[in-house]
Chains A and B, each alone.
Chain A
Amino acid sequence: MSKMKIKVISRNPDDYLRATKRDIHKLPRNYDPTLHPLEAPREYVRAMNAVKLERVFAKPFIGNLDGHRDGVSSLAKHPSRLAVLASGAFDGEIRLWDLAVRKCTRNFVAHEGWVRALCFTPKGDTFTSVGDDKTIKTWKSEVQSPDDEEPVNTLLSMSVVTGVTHHRSKPIFATCGEHCQLWENTRNEPVKVFKWGVDSLHHVSFNQVEQNLLASCASDRSVILYDCRESGPLRKVVMELRSNALSWNPMEAFIFTVANEDYNLYTFDVRKLKQPINVHMGHTSAVIDVDYAPTGREFVAGSYDKTVRIFESLKGNSRDVYHTKRMQRLTCVKWTLDNKYILSGSDEMNIRMWKARASEKLGVLKPRERTALNYADSLKEKFANHPQVKRIARHRHVPKHILNAQNEIRTIKQKAKRKEGNRRAHSKPGAIPFVPERQRHIVKEDE
């Protein structure tokens, strides 16, 4: 043989084994697809496992804050401090909580009758409470001296005040009751009073982006929009049943969601109130309160059916439902400003803390853990529409009373639909028009 060169794979084990026990193992990688056969079915199996593990680790309940001697009527979150929460009860007591240690830091009786609403000022140094005793009291958030225990300011209103909300930047706040009233901190009389018919209002909320805009829910089934620079209210939309609460989307200034008595939530665009942009279904009883996540992509709703539901703002059905055996009718819900937790106050004197994403791991993640979770997330997304994956991801165990109520509501809806279909089939074409679900619940829009 003249010229010949023979090359053979000959591996030196030293290149592949770690030198000492303290070293990490050497893991040479080769991404050649032929070495990784059956990619699609293996990914599918991993996606199935990921979605199952997600359900296994879905333990959203973190803890409860107990101390109130009557049902919790209202909650307020501090604008800049994550750990501070104020809560008012039906017996007129206000408590301030430290969420990090889950302890009550301060409690005092503020009102006679129940505390209707609470709200912090934008700086967070004081908060305002309104109660059944027709007073609007402003309190200091932190107590340095015994004098601070007393209210900084007490305003007397002519009628019962049921809601309070503060302007984002100016020292103005709005209350509702018989009418919507605008107050300035320094004055004893309201600066402006908005009236529209003889209605009583039970919830009012300032828009935090378009700061002069505010909206309120009235007991004549309407939602009214105001501009605090103008003298009269702007517009109102009347729905079939009354709305209980309202929350503005913090990222899209023109969007708000109302919690309605007819078990649904409605998301409206301010510019077009005639038809909601989305109807969020899922609750089996009246929805009492709603609050947006700081991202504006999701919101949480608390209902009279003893459950908390989390909705994605663009979707009609809930993403998750939280319940416990002991939680009674919800009265108020809040989504914390770090987008991680949900707080719910209920009839049976407890405030509960939940994780916003049920299976999320709390605390610091190690990089490998992080990458593994990211991989699982993208697999879940990739195979989200596979029937098995979808079924597992969607399934939620709900208490019997909810399940029965869901079945009942389903039957009723189907019956109505069938009947309408039959009527349409047996009458003149066009006599029974198709009314989309989104228009069905709106009575009229007034300007």
Chain B
Amino acid sequence: MKNPKKNAPKRYFDVEEKSSEQKEQDVEVYNIKNNKRTDNKRIQKRKPHKNFKGKAPIDPEKLEAHSRGEGVGKGVKHPLHAAKLRKKERKYTYAQEQAARAEILLTEDHGGLEVDEDVKTTAISQKIIAENVDISAATKIFELNLDFGPYRAKYSRNGRHLLLGSKKGHLAAFDWVTKKLHFEINVMESIHDISWMHTETMVAAAQKEWLYMYDNTGTELHCVKKMDKILRMEFLPYHFLLAAVNEFGFMTWLDISIGEVVGHYNNHLGRTSVIAQNPYNATICLGNSKGVVSLWSPTIKEPLAKILCHKTPLTAIAVDNRGMYMATSGVDRSMKIWDIRNLDGPVQHYRLRSAPVDLEFSQKDMLAVGLDEVVEIYNNCCSQTTDRPYLRHRMAKTITNFKYCPYEDVLGIGTRSGFTSIIVPGSGEPNFDALESNPFQNKKQRKEAEVKALLDKIPAELITLNPFDITEVDVPSLQEQMEAKKKLLYLKPKKMDFTPRHKKKGKTQIARKKIIKQVARKEFIEQAKEAQKALDLPQPESAKKPSFGVLDRFVPTVKTKK
């Protein structure tokens, strides 16, 4: 018999040619011989090279930071689906490892203060910092003395531009790094709050009556009369929503990409000017005069959650970037740190010298606290109790607000007489992601990013407490299950009442009280009768009335008390 053709196509199994003595039989016999490929033995792993020990180990903390949660585990029973999920999870862990490994490629180092153990960092003043850093960094400490009253300041999302708005109507925007002025106008009205829009070409100012929008040359683009008497504003960049709260307690979410109000309702809290956004889930935190912090989303007209934080009116709220901690302060001169995902008691409780004007978390979770004329910066104050601030900066003017500059070690303070910029080493994220926000972007990149951001605009309905809700399994309610079953069944469905029945056991409160009273009265009468019997008092004889015949009806009847 000939050998099998060499050119024959390879298959999963080869047919072994039968030997000559077998050929004489009538029955054709095929011996199926396994190929090496289908052998069950696993290919043995190569021995590691003596000079190369394999991949570098990954820091478990970094790995944890990039984790997208634990896998499904052994919950899936069907082998096919389990295998599919395992395959998927292998991909996720691979991505997690790659992301953690990629941290080695980050170019910039984060800032910090290194001092001897006995020296306190609190004492380090801006002057000392300016002397010890390079010239370009030292230019970040500056002060603007402006005449038009208390100023509010806000940085753009990439940290490159600064917007100033004063109570007396001064509105200015500039590139604070190069100090190039975009525009400077006086709106001739009071400005209550200011905000950057999605790019640095548009700003919003809440003026005396309405909300106005200006472009980067100071031209008025819109006057939004739907939003009046605004006190505070927050811009949600991923939703293109401008959230505002006005003097009468009305909250408004304006979609600035289409110019439509997506949520407008009264929060029934009265006048509140303490507002912060939670960057983790884009909810708005409002603090009212009763010390309650409430979380709001545009589509639900009740607060998503409420916490009683202080027993006094609130002065400021701040939420950190990861959405883990919330700092609140009240006029009782206390500051509390809360775990915002788990609204139990405060994680930390600090007592301060005076009531804070403003609170602000930096990208690296340094908390700035404004106390009249002093800014104190706390480091690691959330997970552990710190007894002294990391830095303290005194100014001879009262503070209105402050903001950390994103991707810089800079804190910008709006004051009664202008603007002050100070350096806080280690507060900013040193490595920016250019596809998310790029301080060095040019015009073309900005336009490109704007289009991309608009395509990825998240609908307002997706603002929930847990932003990962959308990726979770939708468990249908009993009612939905029954309705699905009804569709399958072709028979008359069973009637079911889904509204929960709160059975009133017995009568209502008022009726019950009445019954109790009646029973008590009956008992009292019985007792009185008994007592009278026991005493055996003679019945008072009813005196016979003299009769006047027909004229009896004119005799006045004497009411006898029973």
Chain A residues within 8 Å of B, Cβ to Cβ: 1-11, 13, 15-17, 25-46, 49, 386, 414, 417-422, 425
**Interface pick from B34-42, B276-284, B547-555:** B276-284
CA of A6 to CA of B128, assembled, Å: 9
The contact string, 1 if C-beta is below 8 Å from chain A, for chain B 89-132, is 00000000001001100111111111110010000100011001
The contact string, 1 if C-beta is below 8 Å from chain A, for chain B 461-479, is 0100001111100000000
Chain B residues within 8 Å of A, Cβ to Cβ: 65-66, 99, 102-103, 106-116, 119, 124, 128-129, 132-134, 136-137, 140, 238, 279-282, 321-323, 363, 407-409, 423, 425-426, 428-436, 438-440, 442, 445, 455-459, 462, 467-471, 489-491
Note all chain A residues with C-beta closer than 8 A to B409. 8-9
B109 contacts A7, C-beta separation under 8 Å:
yes
Note all chain A residues with C-beta closer than 8 A to B407. 9
Note all chain B residues with C-beta closer than 8 A to A37. 238, 279-280, 321, 323, 467
A-B contact pairs, 18 of them (CB 8 A): A4-B132, A5-B114, A6-B128, A7-B113, A8-B140, A8-B423, A9-B409, A9-B430, A13-B440, A27-B438, A29-B434, A37-B279, A37-B467, A41-B467, A42-B458, A44-B462, A49-B456, A418-B490
Known: A8-B409, A417-B490. A28 touches B107 (CB 8 A): yes
CA of A220 to CA of B103, assembled, Å: 70
Note all chain B residues with C-beta closer than 8 A to A27. 434-435, 438
Note all chain A residues with C-beta closer than 8 A to B106. 28, 30
Note all chain B residues with C-beta closer than 8 A to A45. 455-459
Note all chain A residues with C-beta closer than 8 A to B426. 7
Dominant SS among interface residues on chain B: loop
Q: Which of A11, A40, A49, A422 sits near B468, CB closer than 8 Å?
A: A40
A25 contacts B445, C-beta separation under 8 Å:
yes
Q: How far is the CB of A381 from chain B (nearest CB, A)?
A: 9
Q: How far is the CB of A36 from chain B (nearest CB, A)?
A: 6
Known: A29-B435, A44-B462, A421-B491. A8 touches B471 (CB 8 A): no
B99 contacts A8, C-beta separation under 8 Å:
no
Known: A5-B114, A44-B462, A422-B491. A33 touches B65 (CB 8 A): yes
Known: A2-B119, A4-B119. A49 touches B455 (CB 8 A): yes
B128 contacts A1, C-beta separation under 8 Å:
yes
Q: Which of A4, A11, A33, A422 sits near B124, CB closer than 8 Å?
A: A4
Note all chain A residues with C-beta closer than 8 A to B442. 25
CA of A5 to CA of B210, assembled, Å: 49
Name the residue on B nearest A36 (C-beta).
B436
A28 contacts B433, C-beta separation under 8 Å:
yes
B458 contacts A7, C-beta separation under 8 Å:
no
Note all chain B residues with C-beta closer than 8 A to A420. 490
Contacts A25-B445, A38-B458, A422-B491 aside, 9 further interface pairs with beta carbons under 8 A come to A6-B124, A9-B137, A27-B434, A28-B106, A28-B431, A41-B238, A44-B470, A46-B456, A421-B490
Known: A4-B113, A28-B431. A9 touches B108 (CB 8 A): yes
CA of A11 to CA of B423, assembled, Å: 14
Note all chain B residues with C-beta closer than 8 A to A33. 65-66
